[in-house]
Structures are given as structure tokens and as C-alpha cells.
Amino acid sequence: MNLVFLGKQGVGKGTYAQRYSKSEDIPHLSMGDLLRAEIKTDSELGKQIAEIINAGNLVPDEMALQMLEKRLQQSDCEKGFILDGFPRNLNQANLLEKSLDRLGKKIDCVIDFFASEKTLMERLGGRWQCKKCAKIYHTTNLPSKVEGKCDLDGADLYQRADDKPDAIQKRFAIYEEQTKPLIDYYKEKGLLLDMNADRTPEVVLKDLSKKLQEKKKQLQ
């Protein structure tokens, strides 16, 4: 299935996508991880991206789309994919639709994960991520076995530059203004599935798998 994961910053999109992509053997395309990978290369483009992201702003729509489209053309996306962090506004939703049309693909389901703002702040405040493989941890909710090291590859964990209070407020404001309208947009298209993410990752994943299994049957 071709899926889009929507939801406010810190709700757990990346966490659920990393796990669900493994269980379903479909790739997890995280727009944020693609952009952070470009920053790591130290290219001119990467430097521009870092400045935008670290302040909590969105990179230009066309730039994000170009990076995503390149990734969508890879052969592993043929069996399905999870889009995490794209689209983030109505213009991107239109660009995505056109891009998928060109590639002969379409979105099957959009999952809107929601949780209280208090939960989101706690999750963002305790998040750590692997520098090498981008696996996501949380100091108390989902700690690594060895403090500061990734369970999978032993690489160092880091805290994201955009998880500082000013950048978080900016990201929340952009979500309210630009991303939230996508909920109604996809609801009207009959593609939306609501998912309460104010529960443990295990419970969310179980519910998500069950609902998407039902959806898959409807599509067959």
C-alpha cells in the first residue's frame, strides 16, 4: 500500500513508520531524514537546507518534491511506501498527486496521528536519534540499551537542532496554518484514517496494523 503519515511534530510519525515499514517490508520515506542526509554531505545545498530547518521553517515546496520524486522512482517503492513528512501543505499535496500520476502511482490511505500538545512537548524534549541510521529513541519512553549509543549500529545518538523551544513553536505554528488543512483535504477524498497516538507505540502499531489490514482487504 502507498501510505501518507500525517500528524503534528513529535506525535511519532517517524517511530511508527520505522516499525511499520519493517513489518510490511516497504520503504519509509522520511522527508526530514532525506533533508538531514543532504545536510550531512556538507554541500552548498545542504548548508542552505540546514539554515531553513534549524529555524523550524519549511524548505521550498519544489525542492522537497524533487528530492522525494527521485526517491519514489527507486525500485523498492514498487511494492508500496510510507511518506512521512510529505505533503505538508495543499500545494505539496497537489504537486504530489501530479508526481504520482507521472509515475503511475496513487495514495491508498492517509493516516492522521493525533496526541495532546503536552504529550508532544514531552516526546520532542526527550528525543534522541542515531547519527548513522536515524533510528529514533526517547530518554524515558524508548531508551537505547546503552545510553547515547544506537542499539542497531552502536553509533552516537544526537538531539535535533530544531528541537529547541523557539524552533518547536515555529514548527507548531506552521503545522496549524499549513499542514492541518490537509486533514479535511484527504477526508473529502475518502482517504483519511484517524489514529489516536496518545498511547504506547506498541498499542498504536497494533491498532494501525489491524486497520490497514482491513483497508488492504477493501482495496483488493
Q: Is 171 a catalytic residue?
A: yes
> Quick check: 14 binds Mg ion (CB under 5 A)?
yes
Q: Cα torsion for 201, 50, 111, 137, to the nearest 10°?
A: -10
> Quick check: 4 binds ligand AP5 (CB under 6 A)?
no
> Quick check: 6 binds ligand AP5 (CB under 6 A)?
no
Cell representation of residue 86: 510529505
Task: With CB under 6 A as the rule, give the number of residues binding ligand AP5.
Answer: 36
Query: Among 40-48, 104-112, 185-193, 199-207, which window interacts with ligand AP5 (CB under 6 A)?
Result: 199-207
Cell representation of residue 14: 517517524
Report CA 86 to chain centroid distance, whole Å.
7
What span, in angstroms and rounded, lies between the C-alpha atoms of 86 and 118?
24
Binding mask 101-120 for ligand AP5 (x = CB under 6 A): --------------------
Q: Catalytic one among 8, 36, 123, 127?
A: 127
Report CA 61 to chain centroid distance, whole Å.
16
Helices (H), 73-155: 90-103, 117-125
What span, in angstroms and rounded, lies between the C-alpha atoms of 193 and 47?
37
Minimal distance, residue 72 CB to Mg ion, in Å = 18
> Which are the catalytic amino acids?
13, 88, 127, 160, 171
Residues lying near ligand AP5 in the complex (CB under 6 A)? 7, 9-15, 31-32, 35, 52-53, 56-59, 64, 85-86, 88, 92, 123, 126-127, 136-138, 141-142, 162, 171, 197, 200-201, 204
